[in-house]
Protein backbone atom coordinates (compact mmCIF):
# COMPACT_ATOMS: atom_id res chain seq x y z
CA UNK A 1 0.00 0.00 0.00
CA UNK A 2 1.24 3.49 -0.81
CA UNK A 3 -0.09 6.96 0.09
CA UNK A 4 -0.63 10.04 -2.10
CA UNK A 5 -1.82 13.00 -0.02
CA UNK A 6 -4.66 11.63 2.12
CA UNK A 7 -5.66 8.92 -0.37
CA UNK A 8 -4.37 5.39 0.15
CA UNK A 9 -3.85 3.09 -2.82
CA UNK A 10 -3.57 -0.67 -2.38
CA UNK A 11 -1.44 -2.48 -4.94
CA UNK A 12 -3.57 -5.03 -6.75
CA UNK A 13 -3.02 -8.69 -5.92
CA UNK A 14 -3.15 -10.79 -9.09
CA UNK A 15 -2.47 -14.21 -7.53
CA UNK A 16 -2.95 -15.59 -4.02
CA UNK A 17 -2.00 -19.08 -2.85
CA UNK A 18 -3.34 -20.31 0.50
CA UNK A 19 -2.10 -23.39 2.36
CA UNK A 20 -1.25 -25.32 -0.80
CA UNK A 21 -0.57 -29.04 -0.30
CA UNK A 22 0.40 -31.67 -2.82
CA UNK A 23 0.93 -35.30 -1.82
CA UNK A 24 1.99 -38.34 -3.80
CA UNK A 25 0.83 -41.28 -1.69
CA UNK A 26 2.74 -40.71 1.58
CA UNK A 27 5.21 -38.22 0.11
CA UNK A 28 4.40 -34.56 0.81
CA UNK A 29 5.90 -32.57 -2.09
CA UNK A 30 4.28 -29.24 -1.15
CA UNK A 31 3.45 -28.65 2.51
CA UNK A 32 1.24 -25.65 3.27
CA UNK A 33 2.67 -23.05 0.88
CA UNK A 34 1.07 -19.58 0.99
CA UNK A 35 1.98 -16.33 -0.75
CA UNK A 36 0.35 -13.38 -2.51
CA UNK A 37 1.66 -11.86 -5.71
CA UNK A 38 1.25 -8.19 -6.55
CA UNK A 39 0.53 -7.17 -10.10
CA UNK A 40 3.56 -6.10 -12.13
CA UNK A 41 6.29 -7.78 -10.08
CA UNK A 42 8.75 -10.56 -10.80
CA UNK A 43 8.46 -13.21 -8.08
CA UNK A 44 11.19 -15.82 -7.72
CA UNK A 45 10.57 -19.28 -6.28
CA UNK A 46 13.91 -20.85 -5.33
CA UNK A 47 15.01 -24.06 -3.68
CA UNK A 48 17.32 -27.08 -3.90
CA UNK A 49 16.42 -30.05 -6.08
CA UNK A 50 13.40 -31.76 -4.55
CA UNK A 51 12.32 -28.72 -2.52
CA UNK A 52 8.89 -28.68 -4.17
CA UNK A 53 9.13 -25.51 -6.24
CA UNK A 54 8.36 -27.09 -9.63
CA UNK A 55 5.42 -29.02 -8.16
CA UNK A 56 4.13 -25.79 -6.61
CA UNK A 57 4.32 -24.03 -9.97
CA UNK A 58 2.62 -26.91 -11.81
CA UNK A 59 -0.28 -26.88 -9.34
CA UNK A 60 -0.67 -23.12 -9.69
CA UNK A 61 -0.54 -23.41 -13.49
CA UNK A 62 -3.39 -25.96 -13.28
CA UNK A 63 -1.20 -28.65 -14.84
CA UNK A 64 -1.70 -30.98 -11.85
CA UNK A 65 -4.42 -30.83 -9.17
CA UNK A 66 -3.69 -29.85 -5.56
CA UNK A 67 -4.31 -32.20 -2.64
CA UNK A 68 -5.50 -29.27 -0.54
CA UNK A 69 -5.40 -25.49 -0.46
CA UNK A 70 -6.83 -22.59 -2.44
CA UNK A 71 -5.58 -20.59 -5.42
CA UNK A 72 -7.12 -17.24 -6.31
CA UNK A 73 -6.56 -15.36 -9.55
CA UNK A 74 -7.62 -11.69 -9.57
CA UNK A 75 -9.44 -12.24 -6.27
CA UNK A 76 -11.52 -15.25 -7.33
CA UNK A 77 -11.00 -19.02 -7.66
CA UNK A 78 -9.44 -19.97 -10.98
CA UNK A 79 -11.96 -20.39 -13.78
CA UNK A 80 -11.51 -22.38 -17.02
CA UNK A 81 -10.48 -19.08 -18.63
CA UNK A 82 -7.37 -19.05 -16.40
CA UNK A 83 -5.42 -21.11 -18.94
CA UNK A 84 -6.33 -18.61 -21.66
CA UNK A 85 -5.02 -15.70 -19.62
CA UNK A 86 -1.62 -16.97 -18.44
CA UNK A 87 1.58 -17.76 -20.32
CA UNK A 88 3.89 -20.67 -19.48
CA UNK A 89 7.46 -21.34 -20.49
CA UNK A 90 8.11 -24.90 -19.33
CA UNK A 91 11.54 -26.32 -18.46
CA UNK A 92 11.38 -28.33 -21.68
CA UNK A 93 8.98 -28.12 -24.60
CA UNK A 94 8.84 -30.52 -27.54
CA UNK A 95 8.50 -28.73 -30.88
CA UNK A 96 7.76 -30.21 -34.29
CA UNK A 97 10.97 -30.31 -36.32
CA UNK A 98 9.07 -30.16 -39.60
CA UNK A 99 7.82 -26.63 -38.82
CA UNK A 100 9.72 -23.37 -38.99
CA UNK A 101 9.71 -20.83 -36.17
CA UNK A 102 7.22 -18.67 -38.10
CA UNK A 103 4.91 -21.64 -38.78
CA UNK A 104 5.01 -22.66 -35.12
CA UNK A 105 4.06 -19.16 -34.00
CA UNK A 106 1.14 -19.15 -36.44
CA UNK A 107 0.06 -22.60 -35.22
CA UNK A 108 0.10 -21.51 -31.58
CA UNK A 109 -1.89 -18.39 -32.51
CA UNK A 110 -4.74 -20.66 -33.63
CA UNK A 111 -5.06 -22.08 -30.11
CA UNK A 112 -6.20 -18.78 -28.55
CA UNK A 113 -8.88 -16.17 -29.17
CA UNK A 114 -6.74 -13.19 -28.14
CA UNK A 115 -3.22 -13.19 -29.57
CA UNK A 116 -0.21 -11.03 -30.25
CA UNK A 117 0.83 -10.66 -33.86
CA UNK A 118 3.83 -12.54 -35.22
CA UNK A 119 5.49 -9.23 -36.04
CA UNK A 120 5.02 -8.04 -32.45
CA UNK A 121 6.58 -11.20 -31.00
CA UNK A 122 9.44 -11.18 -33.50
CA UNK A 123 10.38 -7.66 -32.46
CA UNK A 124 9.93 -8.22 -28.72
CA UNK A 125 11.89 -11.49 -28.55
CA UNK A 126 14.37 -10.75 -31.38
CA UNK A 127 13.39 -13.66 -33.61
CA UNK A 128 13.95 -12.03 -37.01
CA UNK A 129 17.36 -13.64 -37.66
CA UNK A 130 15.97 -17.20 -37.49
CA UNK A 131 12.25 -16.77 -38.17
CA UNK A 132 12.25 -19.04 -41.22
CA UNK A 133 14.58 -21.71 -39.84
CA UNK A 134 13.26 -25.10 -38.75
CA UNK A 135 12.75 -25.61 -35.02
CA UNK A 136 15.59 -28.14 -34.72
CA UNK A 137 18.10 -25.86 -36.47
CA UNK A 138 18.20 -23.01 -33.96
CA UNK A 139 20.71 -22.51 -31.13
CA UNK A 140 20.00 -22.87 -27.41
CA UNK A 141 19.74 -19.12 -26.86
CA UNK A 142 17.48 -18.72 -29.90
CA UNK A 143 15.29 -21.58 -28.69
CA UNK A 144 14.76 -19.95 -25.27
CA UNK A 145 13.80 -16.64 -26.88
CA UNK A 146 11.45 -18.54 -29.16
CA UNK A 147 9.84 -20.41 -26.24
CA UNK A 148 9.41 -17.08 -24.46
CA UNK A 149 7.59 -15.75 -27.54
CA UNK A 150 5.29 -18.79 -27.50
CA UNK A 151 4.51 -18.13 -23.83
CA UNK A 152 3.55 -14.55 -24.75
CA UNK A 153 1.42 -15.40 -27.76
CA UNK A 154 -1.91 -15.07 -25.90
CA UNK A 155 -1.01 -11.68 -24.38
CA UNK A 156 -0.90 -13.07 -20.80
CA UNK A 157 -1.06 -10.85 -17.74
CA UNK A 158 0.65 -13.55 -15.65
CA UNK A 159 3.72 -15.33 -17.03
CA UNK A 160 5.38 -18.47 -15.61
CA UNK A 161 9.07 -18.98 -16.41
CA UNK A 162 10.38 -22.36 -15.22
CA UNK A 163 14.20 -22.26 -15.30
CA UNK A 164 14.25 -20.29 -18.58
CA UNK A 165 18.04 -19.89 -18.86
CA UNK A 166 19.18 -23.42 -18.00
CA UNK A 167 21.95 -24.56 -20.33
CA UNK A 168 22.63 -21.14 -21.86
CA UNK A 169 26.07 -19.59 -22.11
CA UNK A 170 26.64 -16.36 -20.10
CA UNK A 171 26.03 -14.05 -23.10
CA UNK A 172 22.79 -15.80 -24.11
CA UNK A 173 21.66 -15.76 -20.49
CA UNK A 174 22.23 -12.03 -20.18
CA UNK A 175 20.35 -11.42 -23.43
CA UNK A 176 17.42 -13.41 -22.07
CA UNK A 177 17.49 -11.44 -18.82
CA UNK A 178 17.24 -8.19 -20.78
CA UNK A 179 14.21 -9.57 -22.64
CA UNK A 180 12.55 -10.59 -19.38
CA UNK A 181 13.12 -7.18 -17.83
CA UNK A 182 11.63 -5.57 -20.93
CA UNK A 183 8.54 -7.77 -20.65
CA UNK A 184 8.15 -6.88 -16.98
CA UNK A 185 8.46 -3.18 -17.88
CA UNK A 186 5.31 -3.61 -19.99
CA UNK A 187 3.36 -4.32 -16.80
CA UNK A 188 3.28 -8.11 -16.89
CA UNK A 189 3.57 -10.19 -13.72
CA UNK A 190 6.16 -12.98 -13.69
CA UNK A 191 6.79 -16.07 -11.59
CA UNK A 192 10.32 -17.37 -12.05
CA UNK A 193 12.00 -20.57 -10.91
CA UNK A 194 15.74 -20.81 -11.31
CA UNK A 195 18.88 -22.45 -9.91
CA UNK A 196 20.92 -19.34 -10.76
CA UNK A 197 20.95 -17.06 -7.71
CA UNK A 198 22.49 -14.24 -9.74
CA UNK A 199 19.51 -14.48 -12.10
CA UNK A 200 17.01 -14.25 -9.25
CA UNK A 201 18.84 -11.33 -7.65
CA UNK A 202 18.96 -9.48 -10.98
CA UNK A 203 15.36 -10.08 -12.08
CA UNK A 204 13.17 -10.53 -9.00
CA UNK A 205 11.41 -7.93 -6.87
CA UNK A 206 10.57 -10.61 -4.30
CA UNK A 207 11.92 -14.08 -3.62
CA UNK A 208 10.60 -17.08 -1.70
CA UNK A 209 13.06 -19.84 -0.77
CA UNK A 210 11.58 -23.34 -0.41
CA UNK A 211 12.97 -26.40 1.32
CA UNK A 212 11.27 -29.71 2.12
CA UNK A 213 8.00 -28.45 0.60
CA UNK A 214 7.77 -25.29 2.72
CA UNK A 215 8.64 -21.62 2.22
CA UNK A 216 11.40 -20.93 4.75
CA UNK A 217 12.12 -17.29 3.84
CA UNK A 218 10.45 -14.63 1.72
CA UNK A 219 11.32 -10.98 1.02
CA UNK A 220 13.08 -8.82 -1.54
CA UNK A 221 16.60 -10.02 -2.44
CA UNK A 222 18.16 -7.06 -0.60
CA UNK A 223 16.10 -7.72 2.53
CA UNK A 224 16.98 -11.43 2.52
CA UNK A 225 20.67 -10.52 2.25
CA UNK A 226 20.35 -8.13 5.19
CA UNK A 227 18.55 -10.74 7.30
CA UNK A 228 20.51 -13.90 6.53
CA UNK A 229 23.95 -12.98 5.23
CA UNK A 230 25.72 -10.22 7.11
CA UNK A 231 29.40 -9.46 6.70
CA UNK A 232 31.98 -9.19 3.95
CA UNK A 233 34.57 -11.81 3.03
CA UNK A 234 38.12 -10.78 2.19
CA UNK A 235 40.04 -13.43 0.25
CA UNK A 236 43.84 -13.57 -0.11
CA UNK A 237 46.18 -16.11 -1.70
CA UNK A 238 47.76 -18.26 1.01
CA UNK A 239 51.25 -17.18 0.07
CA UNK A 240 50.35 -13.49 0.62
CA UNK A 241 49.33 -14.10 4.23
CA UNK A 242 52.35 -15.05 6.34
CA UNK A 243 50.97 -14.18 9.78
CA UNK A 244 51.04 -16.67 12.61
CA UNK A 245 47.84 -18.27 13.90
CA UNK A 246 45.75 -16.00 16.15
CA UNK A 247 47.97 -12.99 15.39
CA UNK A 248 45.24 -11.20 13.41
CA UNK A 249 42.34 -9.52 15.29
CA UNK A 250 39.60 -10.80 12.91
CA UNK A 251 38.38 -14.37 12.24
CA UNK A 252 40.64 -16.10 9.71
CA UNK A 253 40.24 -19.49 8.05
CA UNK A 254 42.12 -21.44 5.41
CA UNK A 255 40.13 -22.59 2.35
CA UNK A 256 42.29 -24.69 0.02
CA UNK A 257 45.02 -22.32 -1.19
CA UNK A 258 43.39 -19.10 0.10
CA UNK A 259 42.82 -17.24 3.34
CA UNK A 260 39.30 -15.94 4.10
CA UNK A 261 38.65 -13.16 6.59
CA UNK A 262 35.11 -12.24 7.71
CA UNK A 263 34.41 -8.63 8.64
CA UNK A 264 31.55 -6.18 9.13
CA UNK A 265 33.88 -3.22 8.54
CA UNK A 266 35.93 -3.51 5.35
CA UNK A 267 37.89 -0.30 6.05
CA UNK A 268 39.03 -1.55 9.44
CA UNK A 269 39.97 -4.92 7.95
CA UNK A 270 42.09 -3.34 5.22
CA UNK A 271 43.78 -1.06 7.75
CA UNK A 272 44.69 -4.08 9.88
CA UNK A 273 46.06 -5.98 6.88
CA UNK A 274 48.19 -3.01 5.84
CA UNK A 275 49.47 -2.53 9.41
CA UNK A 276 50.54 -6.20 9.39
CA UNK A 277 52.39 -5.70 6.06
CA UNK A 278 50.15 -8.15 4.18
CA UNK A 279 50.50 -7.98 0.38
CA UNK A 280 47.10 -6.89 -1.00
CA UNK A 281 47.97 -7.15 -4.70
CA UNK A 282 45.67 -10.16 -5.35
CA UNK A 283 43.00 -9.39 -2.76
CA UNK A 284 39.35 -10.22 -3.51
CA UNK A 285 36.43 -8.68 -1.61
CA UNK A 286 33.12 -10.59 -1.69
CA UNK A 287 29.96 -8.86 -0.58
CA UNK A 288 27.09 -11.10 0.57
CA UNK A 289 24.60 -12.00 -2.14
CA UNK A 290 21.52 -14.13 -2.68
CA UNK A 291 23.62 -17.25 -3.24
CA UNK A 292 25.12 -16.81 0.23
CA UNK A 293 21.60 -16.52 1.66
CA UNK A 294 20.48 -19.63 -0.19
CA UNK A 295 23.40 -21.69 1.08
CA UNK A 296 23.03 -20.41 4.64
CA UNK A 297 19.34 -21.37 4.70
CA UNK A 298 19.34 -24.67 2.81
CA UNK A 299 22.84 -26.05 3.38
CA UNK A 300 25.86 -26.33 1.12
CA UNK A 301 25.39 -29.92 -0.03
CA UNK A 302 23.10 -30.91 -2.89
CA UNK A 303 20.50 -33.46 -1.87
CA UNK A 304 19.10 -36.26 -3.95
Task: Look at the alpha carbons of 112, 69, 56, 220 in this order and tell me if their dihedral is positive or negative.
Answer: positive
On whether both 81 and 123 belong to a single domain, the answer is: yes
Q: What is the pLDDT along the chain (304 residues), one digit of tens a residue?
A: 434 444 433 568 999 999 999 999 989 999 999 999 999 999 999 999 889 999 999 999 999 999 999 999 999 999 988 988 999 998 778 888 899 999 999 999 999 988 999 999 999 999 999 999 999 999 988 999 999 999 999 999 999 999 998 888 899 899 999 999 999 998 999 999 998 999 999 999 999 999 999 999 999 999 999 898 878 889 999 888 888 777 888 888 888 889 899 888 899 999 999 999 898 989 999 888 898 899 889 885 544 4
On whether both 219 and 238 belong to a single domain, the answer is: no
The span from the CA of 127 to the CA of 150, in Å, is 11
The span from the CA of 292 to the CA of 197, in Å, is 9
On whether both 18 and 159 belong to a single domain, the answer is: yes
On whether both 147 and 24 belong to a single domain, the answer is: yes
On whether both 235 and 282 belong to a single domain, the answer is: yes
Is residue 237 a part of any domain in this protein?
yes
Residue span of the structural domain in which 101 resides: 10-227
On whether both 180 and 280 belong to a single domain, the answer is: no
Q: In terms of C-beta density within 10 A (0-12 exposed, 13-18 middle, 19 or more buried), how is residue 161 classed?
A: buried
8 A C-beta contact, residue 140 and residue 167:
yes
On whether both 132 and 207 belong to a single domain, the answer is: yes
End-to-end Cα spacing for the chain: 41
Amino acid sequence: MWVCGKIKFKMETILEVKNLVKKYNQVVAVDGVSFALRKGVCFGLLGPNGAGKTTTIEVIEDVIPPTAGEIFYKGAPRMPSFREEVGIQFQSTALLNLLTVRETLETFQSFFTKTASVEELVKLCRLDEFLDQYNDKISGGQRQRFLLALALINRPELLFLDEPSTGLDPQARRNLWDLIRGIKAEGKTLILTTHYMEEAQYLCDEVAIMDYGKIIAQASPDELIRQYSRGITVVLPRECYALKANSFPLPVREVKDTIEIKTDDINQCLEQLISHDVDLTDITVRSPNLETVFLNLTGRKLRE
